[in-house]
Structure 1
């Protein structure tokens, strides 16, 4: 995480090219997995597996903007920043009972749940499947792997038909190239939300002992 902020801090709007093509910071986080015999799952591959279908980007952006303007953390972005941010996402509808993310895989995308609900489960070493939470609209899933290039912590499965906003590593790199200040603010907010969620999860796991 420290490397991410150092990378963003060292950038300025003046040193980026219009197409953002010089930035591959997040994409390269996954390149070493191929040499280790591991496969990284990008969104376009997972979308085919789970029968995801694109829907109107205007409608998706409207849903995402509406949810995040009510989020106590994300609403710190002003209206102009939010308008720019939502256009870096893809928008997809996913049927129920589809595994959007799988525990221990490498996945180079995050999702924001726009409509519907999703189960967040973790298979424990002793074989118990633990329900960590049920995600609701506005929640971000998969950001840990996107930020650090590591394995997925849990399974994320749709409990109903869901609409998702999807941001891949290449999209985040594009944002870094075109809008470095926006990318820095967005990554900082993701890190804060992730930290709070992990703390809450740790408390729940402690209570189960």
Structure 2
């Protein structure tokens, strides 16, 4: 966490408390040379897939319950999760909708609160490989939010799903208003992402063999 806060201080020459207009995440894609026209924000994707707003009272309770049982996210106490909820957008999504598409740029991540989402990757030789079918509590899309890279895989709803979405603008707002909370979230996301990448790498390696 200190490393993350140190990075922010080095970037802005001040701590997040002193930088209410922080744009650490919202400017990251520009820094990578990504054209704005190629960037898919959550608001555009939500409209495209027919997502409907979910009351924060329901979405927040689901998020708290799921993260309290998660190996990594349970390090955030109830107060921390409650403070974090105001930065999320909660939505319900019908089946057979692409929440995330492989190869695009997207500045948001989602937490699956209810339902099932398929994670598929189209291999360079044309084969469609299913990497996973997610369970409530799983986080999707955080890699692109953290490193400003293209989406590694597609994430498609298999059932009616309820989601919590966090975009780059909200991450910057969290950095400015509650920097310790934001640093904790980023550190935990990095740990979960590392674990998932190890599993996916093993899966791809086994498939090629």
What TM-score comes out, normalization by structure 1 length?
Answer: 0.91
Count matched residues.
202
Query: How far, CA to CA, are the matches of 2:187 and 2:204 in structure 1?
Result: 26
Query: How far, CA to CA, are the matches of 1:139 and 1:148 in structure 2?
Result: 19
Pair 1:204-2:198 in alignment? no
Pair 1:127-2:99 in alignment? no
Query: How far, CA to CA, are the matches of 1:134 and 1:83 in structure 2?
Result: 28
Query: How far, CA to CA, are the matches of 1:191 and 1:137 in structure 2?
Result: 19
Question: What CA RMSD, in Å, does the superposition of the two structures yield over aligned residues?
Answer: 1.8
Can you list the C-alpha shifts for 1:31-76, whole angstroms capped at 9, x where unaligned?
23127xx510001100111000001011100000100000010001
Does the 8 Å CA contact 2:17/2:177 hold for their aligned counterparts? no
What TM-score comes out, normalization by structure 2 length?
Answer: 0.91
DSSP-derived class of the 1:88 partner: coil
Q: Which among 5, 10, 15 is matched to residue 18 of structure 2?
A: 15
Does the 8 Å CA contact 2:8/2:16 hold for their aligned counterparts? no
DSSP-derived class of the 1:167 partner: strand
Query: How far, CA to CA, are the matches of 1:130 and 1:173 in structure 2?
Result: 34
- Structure 2 stretches of 5 or more lacking a match? none
Can you list the C-alpha shifts for 1:153-173, whole angstroms capped at 9, x where unaligned?
000000001000000000000
Query: How far, CA to CA, are the matches of 2:9 and 2:107 in structure 1?
Result: 23
Does the 8 Å CA contact 2:9/2:16 hold for their aligned counterparts? no
The Cα shift of 1:4 comes to 5.2
Does the 8 Å CA contact 1:94/1:164 hold for their aligned counterparts? yes
The Cα shift of 1:5 comes to 5.3
Q: Which runs of 4+ in 1 moved over 6 A?
A: none
Q: Which residue of 1 aligns with 2:136?
A: 137
Residues 62-77 of structure 1 mapped to structure 2, 5 A cutoff = 62-77=61-76
Pair 1:111-2:114 in alignment? no
